[in-house]
Structure 1
Amino acid sequence: MRVLFAGTPAVAVPSLEALVGAGFDVVAVLTRPDAPIGRKRVLTPSPVAARAAELGIDVIRAARVDAHAIAAITAVAPDVAAIVAYGGLVPPAALTIPRHGWVNLHFSLLPAWRGAAPVQRSVMAGDDITGAVTFQLEQGLDTGPVFGTLTEAVAPADTAGELLARLSHSGSVLLAQTLSAIYAGTASPRPQAGEVTLAPKLTLEDGHLDWRHPALALNRQARGVAPEPGAWTLLDGQRIKLEPVLLRPDVTALAPGAVALHGKSVLVGTGSHAVELTRIQPAGKKMMAAADWARGMASLESVVFE
């Protein structure tokens, strides 16, 4: 079966490798164009494009599936298209090119968390269980019938990045199994059922911690935005980046945003009990241990995060 693979970030690479490893004929990869990376803004291929080049697979670079991309997809004549975090919508004119349509690997238990940031929103919401599904792509936002499902427990300390990394590997197996079932004629997609929740793309503001909120909500928020866009707060009008914070229910006397040393730990008050800072990156400096940052401050008595 001739497969077009569409994907862009590193989390899509295991799926590309799984399809190649399963013996599918991956005739081309569709990915977003090279992007400027780092301080020097060097144009760099996407992780999927780089891996495709190593595997000797032709690459179609397109910021969106426009007429040019549709012509390139048509030219490789795929029987099915597999899509994992490509980063753009697939228009109706492209959906009908492969005779088996497009199969999307999505990192949530649909219809929960439809959208661009399902794992991040799941962690921020405090879900105990998440997972991944393969489904038939259609015009609606992640609305198509589901081929297969897997579940994954969300550990109390999981960041979105860690959870997504695990799902990218287990999901790659599910995707290969789904395409094998389609090839064998045994696939039987079923309509989605359950409560619909949405997972819009994260913005920088999603990482801004409001210290008036309860500690548990802040813990979930900081883990959900890690590694990108990352948690942050303001100090004297400057943005300070924070790695995920730990719960400290033993300390309740700190006012929201107030910073204090408690033994060797750096604590911040919230709307409930305190949280402990792990690592912090002041403006213009590198990420460092919170204790090292505290030692470099003249005093923490007047330090209040906003």
Structure 2
Amino acid sequence: MRLVFAGTPAVAVTALRAVLASRHTVEAVVTRPDAPAGRGRRVEPSPVAALARDSGLEVLTPRRPRERWFLDRLREIAPDCCPVTAYGALLPQAALDIPPHGWVNLHFSVLPAWRGAAPVQHAILHGDDITGATTFRLVAELDAGPVFGVLTEAVRPADTSGDLLGRLAASGAELLVATLDGIEEGSLRAVPQPAEGISFAPKLTPADAQVDWKLPAHLIDRQIRACTPDPGAWTAFGGERMKLWPVTLSAAGAPEGLGTGELHIERGAVYAGTGSHPVLLGDVQPPGKRRTPAADWARGLRGDQATRPGFG
């Protein structure tokens, strides 16, 4: 089939590579416009755009996919199908109607669970044991189209959203190619999603990533892992924002009686009090400094921060 691939972030690069290696022909790529990225906030192409240009593909970057020039160019290309992975913008019906086989989206959950922008983060945040990936035909309603294929993946106890998304990106890319093959062969038909079990996964914001130390330890663990690497879990310390990486729940030798957010510093270990039992901190990153093990950071504390340390 003649394809136009739509995607933007690094997680979509895996899918694009798989489609490029398939028997289908990618005629062009649709991605979000160049945007500031990294610490220097330099304007850079999306990861998908970078791969597409390296592969000699035409790159379409509409600010809004309802723009006339974009719709006209899509009609000129006349794709049979448009595979999508994390494109990042809602497509108008005028675009959805162009390819005869529609737009086939790879979504990182078992639909209808976790429709929306952050399905992997919400699966971890809510303590799901199993998640997965789904290929489905895009419709106007958010992630509500009929399903072509599904795979499942166990959520491991120490998974961050980055870990889990990395595995799903690889297996999901294979599912996407198999779906395109089945559509071309006529052996695959989309079936409606169940009416029960619908849940939504809006994008997590920095406000969602602030740790509330009054929560039980297992909920703090989930929150930090769900927000790693993006948007990045954090807490207040000394009036400033400190970034946190995953903690250890079952920490041998953890002190008793710590107040919520109170720190206990030992040689080689830093514990933080929660609403249930203390957790062992992993890496931390104070503002303007590098990521470092919590014990190394604690050795540099001075004054009240060292004698009465605590998170806000």
> What TM-score does the superposition give when structure 2 sets the normalisation length?
0.95
Q: CA deviation at 1:304?
A: 1.6
Q: Is the 8 A contact 2:267 2:295 kept in 1?
A: no
Alignment-derived partner of residue 309 in structure 2: 303
Q: Is the 8 A contact 2:255 2:264 kept in 1?
A: no
Alignment-derived partner of residue 187 in structure 1: 188
Number of residue pairs aligned between Structure 1 and Structure 2: 306
Alignment-derived partner of residue 134 in structure 1: 135
Q: CA deviation at 1:262?
A: 4.1
Alignment-derived partner of residue 26 in structure 2: 26
SS at match of 1:247: coil
Q: CA deviation at 1:142?
A: 0.5
Q: Percent identity?
A: 51
CA deviations over 1:59-84 (Å, ceiling 9, x no partner): 10123212232222222111111110
Q: Is the 8 A contact 2:71 2:95 kept in 1?
A: yes
Quick one: structure 1 residues 251 and 148, their matched pair in 2 at CA, closer, same or farther if it must change by over 3 Å? farther
Q: Is the 8 A contact 2:258 2:273 kept in 1?
A: yes
Alignment-derived partner of residue 205 in structure 1: 207
Q: Is the 8 A contact 1:248 1:273 kept in 2?
A: no
Q: CA deviation at 1:251?
A: 4.1
Q: Is the 8 A contact 1:259 1:301 kept in 2?
A: no
Gap runs ≥5 in structure 1: none
Q: Is the 8 A contact 2:66 2:94 kept in 1?
A: no
Letter in 2 for 1:305: F
Letter in 2 for 1:303: P
Q: CA deviation at 1:150?
A: 0.5
Listed as ranges, the matches of 1:124-163 within 5 Å are 124-163=125-164
SS at match of 1:165: helix
For 2:65 and 2:50, the matched residues in 1 are separated by 20
Residue range with higher mean Cα deviation, 290-299 or 208-217 = 290-299
Q: Is the 8 A contact 1:92 1:139 kept in 2?
A: yes
For 1:69 and 1:254, the matched residues in 2 are separated by 59
SS at match of 1:246: coil
Alignment-derived partner of residue 285 in structure 1: 289
For 1:200 and 1:246, the matched residues in 2 are separated by 27
For 2:87 and 2:29, the matched residues in 1 are separated by 10
Listed as ranges, the matches of 1:1-306 within 5 Å are 1-67=1-67, 68-193=69-194, 194-248=196-250, 250-298=254-302, 300-306=306-312
Q: Is the 8 A contact 1:259 1:300 kept in 2?
A: no
Q: CA deviation at 1:283?
A: 1.7
For 1:270 and 1:248, the matched residues in 2 are separated by 13
Q: Is the 8 A contact 1:120 1:225 kept in 2?
A: yes
Q: CA deviation at 1:184?
A: 0.4
SS at match of 2:234: strand
Q: Is the 8 A contact 1:29 1:59 kept in 2?
A: yes
Letter in 1 for 2:26: V
Letter in 2 for 1:242: L
Q: Is the 8 A contact 2:214 2:274 kept in 1?
A: yes
Quick one: structure 1 residues 116 and 66, their matched pair in 2 at CA, closer, same or farther if it must change by over 3 Å? same
Q: CA deviation at 1:122?
A: 0.5
Letter in 2 for 1:239: R
SS at match of 2:208: helix
SS at match of 1:204: coil
SS at match of 1:139: coil
Letter in 2 for 1:8: T
Q: CA deviation at 1:20?
A: 1.4
Letter in 2 for 1:49: A
